[in-house]
Amino acid sequence: MTFDILIKNGIVVDGFSNEARRADVGISGAAIKVIGDLKNATGGKTILAEGKYIVPGFIDIQSHSDSYLTLLEYPAQESLITQGITTIAVGHCGTSLAPLASPEALKSVQKWRSIAGANLNWLKFGEFLEALSHYQLGVNVASLIGHSTLRRGLLRDEVRPATPEEVQIMQRMLGEGLQAGAAGLSLGLIYAHETDAAGEELSRLSEMAGKKSRLLSVHLRSEGSHVVEAVEEVAELARKSGCRVKISHFKIQGRQNWGQLELALSAIDRAYQRGVDIFFDVYPYSTTWSVLYTYLPKWAYEGGRETILKNLRDRSSRERILTYLKNQSLDLSSVLVATSEANTAFLGKTLGQIARNQEISVEEALLNVLSATNAQVIVFDYNLSSGIMETMLRHPLSVIATDGAGYDLGYASLNGSLVHPRCFGTMPKFLSAVREKNLMSWTEAIKKITSRPAEKLGLKKRGTLVAGNYADVVVLDPRGVGSRASYENPYIQSEGIDEVIINGRSVVSKGQLTGTLAGQVMRF
Ligand SMILES: [Zn+2]
């Protein structure tokens, strides 16, 4: 027998619960043809995988490549394919790149990226997928529809509950988008233009995703002091709407809140036991990459950027914000200004350093950074517990995702902005933690980054190694796999991801990009 690609003598971990086994894998066209003993077969390309694991391509169910706009700027998504990621799902945290009811809809991107110069030539969701299919994509791409994108397109900058007519229009746009192939709906309940959406509005929209068996992905209303109520809110929303629900980038921020872990997890477990299809994604880092304005009290950022800047200028509002921040007992001094297009003066500095330089309090430094950057600034905050993170990685209802964005390998920010190392190293870092800390079996670890996210997303014929599936395949070195990306220098390729095959084509070979781009747009 002859195959386009023949992988010989590897150890197959197939994404099911099967034990790892020695086998060869034969691929022709876009599909896996045979998994078994192919001693006498030949291949157009032969990969010798002695001592290596052959696993399904990794599925990143929580990607921000769209809202960071890097999917359009760097469609090859090299920092992802070199991690072994073959499929991403974008459109999370309430924000997607379609549908655009008005140009204002795109404003929900602004908390991550400036939209000046973004030139998007689509309105409807189907048109977006069609346009995306003309990009040379490095990875397969699925997209959800963001609630804030729907809402912002109609209500523009107004902050208020939507009228029944507006809810109907949102329902119609969502319905069209789901019909055109969207993977589901996402909510970003912490963000300015969503916090006051009424429960009725959230239920109506979620029900539509539920009826079509699509995913509901939720950025919780609180990841700190109110995390337990936030989890309960989502569990209740999922129960009422019949949705399969994912809590995005689940974490508990702030040392003073870490004690809530057990309550938060038991709220999830309880919902699951009552039949709610609930799960969460988590990244293997104990540092967040957070939009700085979300540190303010809710009243101070309700209404978005203009309100924030106005409150920062107004003396009495400013005092109230400072008092609020001081009472939060957060460790703000180690918060590092990482990413901003608007002002580079503070990049790479901590709020503690800025406070010392300016001889002001650390709370005032935070407000000054917000003012100077037009509230378009993202920070690294070392406010997570690595113990909690490991508990979450191991939890039976977790999957592992980047919550990051894809870049080119040669990427180096023009203005000195830093990106979170998870954009370059999430999956290898997770696998090295599995090896070094014995977090779980390899079979379980591989399921958390392949078959489980595929099943939750509703992806067919991907996420497992079985004859007839699409040939999204990774060959990795279980002893050497790991990430080298750091907070100081995030732009470094992972190690130990030897071969990556997407839709039957070799995109990484012997650890190097081949230059082939083989990603497809996923429609549901
Ligand atoms: Zn989010």
Q: Is the peptide bond before 99 cis (omega within 30 degrees of 0)?
A: yes
pLDDT at 24: 98
Give the Å distance between the CA of 289 and the centre of ligand 1.
10
pLDDT tens, residue by residue, 95-134: 999 999 998 999 989 888 888 878 889 999 999 999 999 9
User: Domain ranges in the chain?
Assistant: 2-51+469-479+495-513, 58-286+384-457, 291-381
Find the angle CA(286)-CA(292)-CA(295) to the nearest 5 degrees. Answer: 85
Residue 507: its H or E element: strand 505-509
Amino acid, single-letter form, for residue 92:
H
Amino acid, single-letter form, for residue 365:
A
Amino acid, single-letter form, for residue 79:
S
Q: In what order do the strands lie in the sheet with 378-381?
A: 288-291, 378-381, 336-339
Distance CA(14)–CA(39), nearest Å, equals 20
- Asked whether the predicted pLDDT for residue 479 surpasses 80, the reply is yes
Question: Of all residues in the chain, what percent carry a pLDDT higher than 70?
Answer: 100
Residue 399: its H or E element: strand 398-400
Q: Which fold has domain 58-286+384-457?
A: TIM Barrel (3.20.20)
Distance CA(187)–CA(111), nearest Å, equals 15
Half-sphere exposure of 418 (CA within 13 A, CB side): 23
Distance CA(96)–CA(93), nearest Å, equals 9
What is the distance, to the nearest Å, from the Cα of residue 408 to the centroid of all Cα atoms in its chain? 17
374: left (phi over 0), alpha (psi -120 to 50) or beta: left
Give the Å distance between the CA of 33 and the centre of ligand 1.
39
Give the Å distance between the CA of 37 and the centre of ligand 1.
45
3-state secondary structure of 488: coil
Q: 510 burial class (0-12, 13-18, 19+ CB within 10 angstroms)?
A: exposed
Q: What are the structure tokens assigned to 231, written together?
A: 């989890």
pLDDT at 311: 96
Question: Of all residues in the chain, what percent carry a pLDDT higher than 90?
Answer: 89
Buried-exposed string 94-129: b where 16+ CB fall within 10 A, e elsewhere:
bbbbbbbbeebbbbbbbbbbeeeeeebebbbbbbbb
- Asked whether the predicted pLDDT for residue 221 surpasses 90, the reply is yes
pLDDT at 515: 98
Only one residue has tokens 């901590």, namely 350
Distance CA(231)–CA(312), nearest Å, equals 31
Give the Å distance between the CA of 248 and the centre of ligand 1.
6
Distance CA(226)–CA(230), nearest Å, equals 6
Give the Å distance between the CA of 517 and the centre of ligand 1.
28
Overall average pLDDT of the 63-71 stretch: 97
Only one residue has tokens 């977090």, namely 439
Overall average pLDDT of the 447-457 stretch: 98
- Asked whether the predicted pLDDT for residue 488 surpasses 90, the reply is no
Give the Å distance between the CA of 9 and the centre of ligand 1.
41
CB atoms within 10 A of CB 22: 12
Confidence of residue 226 (pLDDT cuts 50, 70, 90): very high
Give the Å distance between the CA of 229 and the centre of ligand 1.
17
3-state secondary structure of 11: strand
Confidence of residue 484 (pLDDT cuts 50, 70, 90): very high
Give the Å distance between the CA of 145 and the centre of ligand 1.
14
pLDDT tens, residue by residue, 359-402: 999 999 999 999 999 999 999 999 999 999 999 999 999 999 99
Only one residue has tokens 């907070």, namely 487
Overall average pLDDT of the 335-352 stretch: 92
What is the distance, to the nearest Å, from the Cα of residue 388 to the centroid of all Cα atoms in its chain? 19
Give the Å distance between the CA of 504 and the centre of ligand 1.
32
pLDDT tens, residue by residue, 149-200: 999 999 998 888 999 999 999 999 999 999 999 999 999 998 877 877 888 9
Q: How far is CA 296 from CA 72, 292, 300, 382, 522, in A?
A: 31, 8, 6, 18, 38
Confidence of residue 414 (pLDDT cuts 50, 70, 90): confident
Q: How far is CA 44 from CA 1, 47, 508, in A?
A: 11, 10, 16
Give the Å distance between the CA of 159 and the centre of ligand 1.
20
Give the Å distance between the CA of 18 and the centre of ligand 1.
34
Distance CA(456)–CA(52), nearest Å, equals 28
Overall average pLDDT of the 269-276 stretch: 97
Answer CATH for 2-51+469-479+495-513 from 3.30.70.920, 3.40.50.12280, 3.30.360.10, 2.30.40.10: 2.30.40.10
Contact 480, 467 (CB under 8 A): no
Give the Å distance between the CA of 476 and the centre of ligand 1.
30
- Asked whether the predicted pLDDT for residue 58 surpasses 90, the reply is yes
